[in-house]
Amino acid sequence: QVQLVESGGGLVQRGGALRLSCAASGSIFSINAMGWYRQVPGKERELVARISGGGNTYDLDSVKGRFTISRDNAKNTVYLQMNSLKPEDTAVYYCNADVQIYSYSDSFRRYWGQGTQVTVSS
C-alpha cells in the first residue's frame, strides 16, 4: 500500500504564496516522476507541474515563473511553491507519484494524494 498525504493548502489573497507538500509512504521501492494537478468543479483535472526522478521539470504555461516544483527524495516528498497567486489558481490540488513497489518490476503505478484546497481571493 502507498499513501500520499498532502498539506499546505489554504486561503490567501491575490498575490500571496503557499507551499504545498506531499509525502509518500508505504510499500515503496522507488519513486520515478512526481507531480501536481489541480481541478475545479466541472472541469478536467489539469497537470500543473511535474518533476522527473532526475529532476527535470515541466510547468503549465500559466504558472511558469510563479510556481516551482521540487522534491526531496530522502523524504519521498514533492513540493509546490506557489507565489503570486491569482484567483484563477483556485482549485483542489492533487499530488501524484509514480511508484515502483517491487524491486523485480520495472513498472510504476500512479498514486494520488487526497487533495488540498487552495483558494485565492481577489
Parallel, antiparallel, or unpaired for β 57-59 and 116-121? unpaired
Reading the block at residue 82, the C-alpha cell is 506557489
**89 three-state secondary structure:** helix
pLDDT at 69: 98
pLDDT at 57: 98
pLDDT digit string (tens) for the chain, length 122 residues: 899 999 999 999 999 999 999 999 999 999 999 999 999 999 999 999 999 999 999 999 999 999 999 999 999 999 999 999 999 999 999 999 999 999 898 889 999 999 999 999 99
pLDDT at 26: 95
pLDDT at 56: 97
pLDDT at 105: 84
pLDDT at 92: 98
Parallel, antiparallel, or unpaired for β 116-121 and 10-13? parallel
pLDDT at 1: 87
* Nearest in space to 38 (alpha carbons), one of 75, 69, 13: 69
Reading the block at residue 23, the C-alpha cell is 509525502
pLDDT at 7: 97
